[in-house]
Structure 1
């Protein structure tokens, strides 16, 4: 919440089930007679906009500022009234609040089509929505007060990036470029980065941005095929070994996983830099074995559409194992 000469600005809201607590915290800052003049929605996913309808019920004069995509979303996600005051961020570009100016940096697909970031110019603070965040909660709020947890935070940041921004790496690079070219001052001068998830960054800001840039680089794939299989009686194993021999014979690297001795996570990690994946399954009770289906369901049509993925297996009872696994693989095209 930002208090300025021309009004109070609330950046985003929270999940609907935390609306009452959110309103209490707002009142604690601005008092019972205070009001919210603007609500900046950098993003309208329900964890950002879920409480909007309740906050507008208490502060109906507030103006919602967001991208056109976001304003369209909140009609349905946020259930806002038709007479709610709104401003399109791309149209106004900046908001003059007297002693403070807000600048809106529009970058879709970080990680929804509606996303933007907001610069608080005079304070040299960047409100980034989901970018540079992490699922890492701590009462101390600021990362410079949490250095005893730096290993935990680093792991949380990487996991968060992989899950949230892994499918949108080109847009991450575009977003970083916009920060560097449109913010109006060098990244080195940033005093804080306020993420919607995880600590507020007050130290190592440039390092965190550079880390995102590194993580978002295009994946360089090896000329490698990962073969993962499960075998009930040894027949699918025999097939996997023969396939591996054939792949090796044409000079392609092979990595083979017997799912009994390996794991789903190990297979997916190994496949991270591989061009090809082959999944082997017998048929048990008219279906593929669960670990192979889990691997297939962890693959994504955005991330893995340009890889070579197929399946094989022994006929077993009635042969549905390979057929069912192939259905999921076809969905990745």
Structure 2
């Protein structure tokens, strides 16, 4: 993909990764982009780099606008490898460039690059850099989602370079939100935002909420948000800001997702009467089999629903491995404001259901107990109990949802 002008003198010079499907353990079925930006001003400035495998593409895009040797400043908003691992190659071209980075960013990046050889400037919230006609304002955003993170705001054009916030893992020929929505749909774009937030930024919801409030207090106006992944927001800024507000408040639909895995189909047979009980109680249900579904999709669907019921057979006196992996991942994401239930089959001892509730309690989720477990293959009586469990859970879920 060639460079593209966002506003007069401000360019996207990133790269599209059409092939990536595993992003440090997070499935990316739509691929992704590595966005970085060039400001062609009196003192040309590069905002972020890209993944080292794609840095040659970014350098080529820069070369279409200016000679890369003319870059005077390099802003590093976030040091994660997909954004900063290409910096060293760029510094080989412009070793005299000024680097602007947070204190924590410098500490972290120094583990990868010997920064003692370069001109490093530490910045904090409120610091500004005049590069000619434009002024850059730095806003620290620690733990959104790494401790080093910051935003850069281009004051004159009201453009917010937002690193990972407001991003999506989308490989696309469209650079802007309105273009993507026209050629695909707005629902697809919103789904990608939710997917990204649920799998990456969910643990930092309270931090994000506080930072959004801080930006509002600064009184800055935003007419473009340029993240480091996915499309750039120029037409639906209020929509994405409102979407983030709802996500950080852990809002969810009155619906339920049943996530399960199974060995010999006994646990699977329990799923359908539970779902029927929920539906008869007026609660929409989505059913997901773990080993048939990317984990990132499972997390997104759990995020959307107010209720989650997880099923696991007992294996070796514990959880089935795929269920244990999901719960470990979910615990790290710090899901909240959900009603949780559990079920499963067993042959000998049946510890899986208790273990699932223990994880839910450690996450401080509201639990609906007791769960339901059956010995070996469920009987007709067991299936009837599953149906009643689903109905009772649905009733409790409606009451819980009304309180949140």
Equivalent residue runs for 1:168-317 within 5 Å: 168-182=204-218, 184-187=219-222, 190=223, 192-219=224-251, 230=262, 232=264, 269=301, 279-283=311-315, 288-304=319-335, 316=347
1 CA distance for matches of 2:200 and 2:133? Answer: 35
* Structural mapping, 1:93-108, within 5 Å: 93-108=127-142
Q: Are 1:229 and 1:237, in contact at CA under 8 Å, matched by a contact in 2?
A: no
**Matched residues in 1 for 2:319 and 2:63: separation?**
56
1:4: which partner in 2? 41
Segments of structure 2 that go 5 or more residues without pairing to the other structure are 1-37, 274-282, 364-404
What's the secondary structure of 2:331's corresponding residue? coil
Indicate yes or no: 2:75 matched with 1:43.
no
SS in 1 for 2:115: coil
Secondary structure at the counterpart of residue 162 of structure 2 = strand
Distance, in Å, in 1 between the alignment partners of 2:299 and 2:157 is: 47
1:299 alignment partner, SS class:
helix
| 1:60 has 2:95 as partner | yes
Per mean C-alpha deviation after superposition, the further-off stretch among 38-47 and 262-271 is 262-271
How large is the Cα RMSD of the aligned pairs? 4.3
- The answer for the alignment partner of 1:246 in structure 2 is none
Match of 2:159 among 115, 125, 135: 125
State the alpha-carbon separation in 2 of the partners of residues 295 and 45 from structure 1.
24
Contact 2:51/2:82 (<8 A) preserved: yes
Provide closer, same or farther for how the CA distance between residues 91 and 119 of structure 1 changes in structure 2, counting only shifts above 3 A: closer
Shift of 1:92: 6.9
| Residues in 1 aligned to 2:358 and 2:95: alpha-carbon distance in whole angstroms | 48
Secondary structure class of the residue paired with 1:300? helix
Gaps of 5+ in 1: 242-252
Per-residue Cα deviation, 1:167-200 (whole angstroms, up to 9, x for no partner): 2111221222233222x4334xx2x221111122
Give TM-score, length-normalised by structure 2: 0.63
